[in-house]
Amino acid sequence: MNSGRIREAAILGVFLCAGLILFGYLLANAAIRVKGMDRIVTVKGLAEREVEADIAIWPIKFNEVSNDLPQLYSVVQNQTDKVVKFLTKNGFTEDEMTLSQPSIVDRQTQDYADSSKIQYRFSSSAAITVYSGKVALVRETMKKMAELGKEGIALSGQDYQNRTEYLYTELNKIKPEMIEEATRNAREVASKFAMDSNSRLGKIRNASQGQFSIEDRDSSTQHIKKIRVVSTIEYYLSD
């Protein structure tokens, strides 16, 4: 009886040992595989493109002064009509123009004003803004602004709040191509790294597209936009 139980216990022990050995072997192999998967390379892929703006926002601001308020309103209206006529003659429609109400300032009512030094009591400013997809026409017409000066219209120079803007609104059309290009560039860099390290490039572990940026190419050519996107991609490496 006792010898039978001893024999059963011995057989059970053999199976337990074999199981533990097999489990240890499988665990070791799994650890090696996990360790191998930890070998990664992180690369960045860049895609850049230059495009022409497809929308121009062009404010035309003009000023006038007078001591006669009703006369000042009349002059401003006359100047507005001249600017509209000038723009229409050069190929713009009235739908592309936005006319602002003239802003009138009574200089004598300003606390800091010295009435003895004020030559003209009232000053006005008005603006017509062109919003158009005819970017080339806007740029060409801007060169003819001297014609308005010859008609007695005092044009204001452009400043931060009153400057021509150029926009590019077709980004969604080129996004897929640029993402593909950035991804391709990232893979080329990763492949070169794998080759130099005597490894093979594996699957993508993680990928981040990054944000698209649109900037002026430079201050002199604001109608040309530089678009760029940087993709960050992690690849597995294997021997």
Tell me what the mean pLDDT of segment 167-184 comes to. Answer: 95
pLDDT for residue 157:
76
Assigned CATH topology for domain 55-166: Alpha-Beta Plaits (3.30.70)
Query: 12-33, pLDDT tens digit by residue?
Result: 555 555 554 544 444 444 333 4
Tell whether the model's pLDDT for residue 34 goes beyond 90: no
Banded pLDDT at 110 (limits 50, 70, 90): confident
pLDDT at 115: 64
How confident is the model at residue 98, as a pLDDT?
Answer: 95
Tokens 């004003």 map to which residue?
Answer: 113
- pLDDT score of 117: 72
Task: Please tell me the class of the 40-54+168-239 domain.
Answer: alpha beta
CB atoms within 10 A of CB 26: 10
pLDDT of residue 35: 43
Domains of the chain, by residue range, sit at: 1-38, 40-54+168-239, 55-166
pLDDT of the residue at 197: 86
pLDDT at 136 over 90: yes
CA distance 178 to 210: 12
Report pLDDT digits (tens) over 49-66.
999 999 999 999 999 999
pLDDT number for residue 10: 54
How many other C-beta atoms can be found within 10 angstroms of the C-beta atom of residue 132? 20
With pLDDT > 90 as the criterion, what percentage of the chain qualifies?
57
Contacts of 157 (CB under 8 A, 6+ apart): none
Average pLDDT over residues 108-134: 83
* CB 198 within 8 Å of CB 214: no
Of the CA atoms within 13 Å of residue 54, those in its CB half-sphere come to 6
Other CB atoms closer than 10 Å to residue 65's CB: what's the count? 16
pTM for this structure?
0.75
Name the burial class of residue 235, with classes exposed (0-12), middle (13-18) and buried (19+) by CB atoms within 10 angstroms of its CB. buried
Predicted local confidence at residue 219, as pLDDT: 86
* DSSP codes joined into one string, the chain: -HHHHHHHHHHHHHHHHHHHHHHHHHHHHHHHHHHHHT-EEEEEEEEEEEEE-SEEEEEEEEEEEES-HHHHHHHHHHHHHHHHHHHHHTT--GGGEEEPPPEEEEGGGSTT--GGG-S-SEEEEEEEEEEES-HHHHHHHHTTTHHHHHTT-EEPPPBTTB--EEE---HHHHHHHHHHHHHHHHHHHHHHHHHHTT-EEEEEEEEE----EEEES-TT-TTEEEEEEEEEEEEEEE-
Q: Are 136 and 221 in contact (CB under 8 A)?
A: no
Q: Which two tokens stand for residue 54?
A: 């497809």
The pLDDT tens digits of the residues spanning 64-97 come to 999 999 999 999 999 999 999 999 999 999 999 9
